[in-house]
Amino acid sequence: MRYQQFAKRLLISTLTLCLAIVLPGSLFLQTALAANANVGIKPICVYVSSYEKNDAWSSGIESGLRAELKSACFLKTHYMNTRQIESTSQLVRAAVKAKKYIKAVQPNILITSDDVAAKYLLRSFYKNHKLPVVFSGINWTVEEYGLPYTNTAGIVEVAAIEPLLNHGFTLSNSGSNALYIGSDTLSEQKDAARFFNSAQQLGINLTISLASSYDEWKKLFVTAKDYDFVILGNANDVSDWSMEDSAKYCAEHSAVPSLTNHKEMMHCAGLGYTKIAEEQGTWAGKIAVSILKGAAPSEIPIVTNRKWDLWVNNEILRVSETSIDQDLRKKAKKSRNDFEN
């Protein structure tokens, strides 16, 4: 009898000890499973940029995108790194690599920026696909990529061309011969064509010059002295481009009124009407949230950017002896010194 009572007490003690060991682990396991379940409920969004991680334009889009999506989904990013790529085969490889990343992540929605991603990634692999896509940063028109597809929605990027050309005409004392200098890339070719058509309508003779290298760009910049004013397209894509060296070069060789619609070129231009990258990201984010909530991409109308920043570069204005209206100067967001800081 004593032995049975002892064995019973031993069994109870053993079971109590086991429960003391197992239950906390079970509770931890349940908590971990619950946490994982919550993670699984939140959608995954993938943002594919045509350019590099630290690219100013892409960073701006991503900033606006993250602000809109911070509570809507987990945002993962992939950069195609195509700023310095010229060959079609390399661009195709960059698109294939992006596709593999997307397949591995298996997102609920795909968001892209700029023309390269549209042409080589979306058109090739995601046309009328089951995966919803939001595009942004495509210059002027999406028709050449066959967009929109049944699974897409997005925002198109347009520039304030006519105001820029009109200011060039005014700042040059009614000059009608102008030069456009940009990089020899898909986006710049589209921009230059738009500038050319608008210039013709305004009675301005616009010469288009696109550079592949920094040395070529510098030679073109010097030739601007033979025109009434110069429009500076984005030059970040030219090989061996140097922001620091080009700032010095422009300060030394600016001879006529210079204007741009790219913030990245304000170190070389006297006046700028620039697009706001964050606006593209903000709109793309809002569209993505709508789709995640159940809206059909095909039912969401394509929009264009509606905001521009006005900039002046006092140093370039001084060197080129360009006089600017004081009211316009007061409206400008930043001068060159502010821009550099």
**Quick one: pLDDT at residue 250?**
96
Q: How far apart are CA 11 and CA 336, in angstroms?
A: 83
Which helix (H) or strand (E) segment is 136 a member of? strand 133-139
**Dihedral through CA 190, CA 194, CA 200, CA 204, nearest 10?**
-90
pTM score of the predicted model? 0.73
Q: How far apart are CA 309 and CA 273, in angstroms?
A: 6
Give all domains of the chain, ordered by start, each with its CATH number: 43-158+277-304 (3.40.50.2300), 161-275+307-340 (3.40.50.2300)
- pLDDT above 60 for 4: no
The answer to whether 281 and 58 are in contact (CB under 8 A) is no
**Quick one: pLDDT at residue 208?**
98
**Quick one: pLDDT at residue 236?**
85
pLDDT tens profile 136-151: 999 888 999 999 999 9
- pLDDT above 60 for 20: no
- pLDDT above 70 for 131: yes
Does residue 145 or residue 187 have the better pLDDT?
Answer: 145
pLDDT tens profile 75-101: 999 999 998 787 999 999 999 999 999
- pLDDT above 90 for 333: no
- pLDDT above 50 for 173: yes
When the pLDDT of each residue in the chain is averaged and rounded to a whole number, the result is 86
